[in-house]
Amino acid sequence: MRTEELDYGALETRLRALLLSVTAWLADSDVAQIQEFVEHGEYGVALTWMAHALVEDEAPVPELYIREIADLANVMGIHGDLPAEFEIDYGSGE
pLDDT tens sequence across 26-83: 999 999 999 999 999 999 999 999 999 999 989 898 999 999 999 999 999 998 889 9
pTM of the full structure: 0.86
Does residue 3 sit within a domain? no
Confidence of residue 91 (pLDDT cuts 50, 70, 90): low
- Residue 58 inside a domain? The answer is yes
| 2 in a structural domain | no
**What is the domain count for the chain?**
1
Alpha-carbon gap, residue 58 to 94, rounded angstroms: 35
pLDDT band for position 85 (cuts 50, 70, 90): confident
For residue 54, the enclosing domain spans 8-86
Domain presence at residue 44: yes
By CB atoms closer than 10 A (0-12, 13-18, 19+), residue 16 is middle
Residue 29 lies in a domain: yes
Burial class (CB in 10 A: 0-12, 13-18, 19+), 85: middle
Residue-level pLDDT at 51: 96
**Could you give the C-alpha distances from 66 to 3, 4, 5, 56, in angstroms and in order?**
25, 24, 24, 14
